[in-house]
Every structure is written in C-alpha cells, then in structure tokens.
Amino acid sequence: MSLGIVIVSHVPEIAAGVTTLIKQVAADVSITFAGGTDDNQVGTSMAKISTAFDDNAADELLAFYDLGSAKMNLEMAIEMSDKSVHLYDTALVESAYTAASLLQAGVDLTAVEAQLAPLKIK
C-alpha cells in the first residue's frame, strides 16, 4: 500500500503549479490535483476533487488545500470516496513540499504528520 498526494486550489494554475514544484522532489510519489470549478473559474469542484482521488495511483492519500471552501468540497469528496484520505489544515506549498520529499524518502505517515504539525495555520 502506497501513499499519494492530492493538491486542491481555487485556481487551476495554482494546483498545477504546486504539483510541478513538489514533483521535483518526489518523482516516484503519485501526485494528482484539482483546481478551479468545473468550468475552470475561481473556486473548487467536488467532482474534480473526486477525479483527482480516483486518478491517484495510491490508495491512501494526503490532501492539501488553499482556502476554506476547498476544505468543504474536499470533505464531501472524502465522504464519497473509497480511499483513505488524510486532510491537513496546513500551509499549502510548504506542507505539500514537506510531505512530498518525505514520502519520496520512504518515511512513514506518522513521521510525516509529525513534521506537518507545526505547519498548521487554519
């Protein structure tokens, strides 16, 4: 069983950009993202988030988001998903980068979460 990462942002380019950034340190970690509404406006989409869960090769996911309503859509997608998804109220870029580099190094979830804890900002 592997761990994957999902990035959720209100803006498609932010979600794609954070993914580009963290892939640099995590070539072997499955990373998917959901950005913007269904028609790529500013906002979040539960359907896009569900697709990002499904498309991720891992069956246990760490999810990171930018602002409040992204969290609400994430929670609804989590309730409807078969995968185990951990949601973090942490600074998006820093925590996603931290998790990506640690997962690439084979660090387990407990140790990853210990390093994410001080990055909690919301």
Q: Which residues bind other proteins (CB under 8 A)?
A: 37-38, 41-47, 67-69, 72-73, 75-76
Beta bridge partners of 61: 4, 85
Residue with smaller CB distance to other proteins, 44 or 90: 44
d(CA 109, CA 102): 9
Catalytic (active site) residue 86: no
Closest contact distance (angstroms) between CB of 116 and other proteins is: 20
| Backbone torsions φ then ψ of 41, nearest 5 degrees | -85, 175
Closest contact distance (angstroms) between CB of 95 and other proteins is: 19
Neighbours of 54 (CB within 10 A): 12
Catalytic residue among 6, 8, 10, 48: 10
Residue with smaller CB distance to other proteins, 59 or 89: 89
Q: Which residues are catalytic?
A: 10
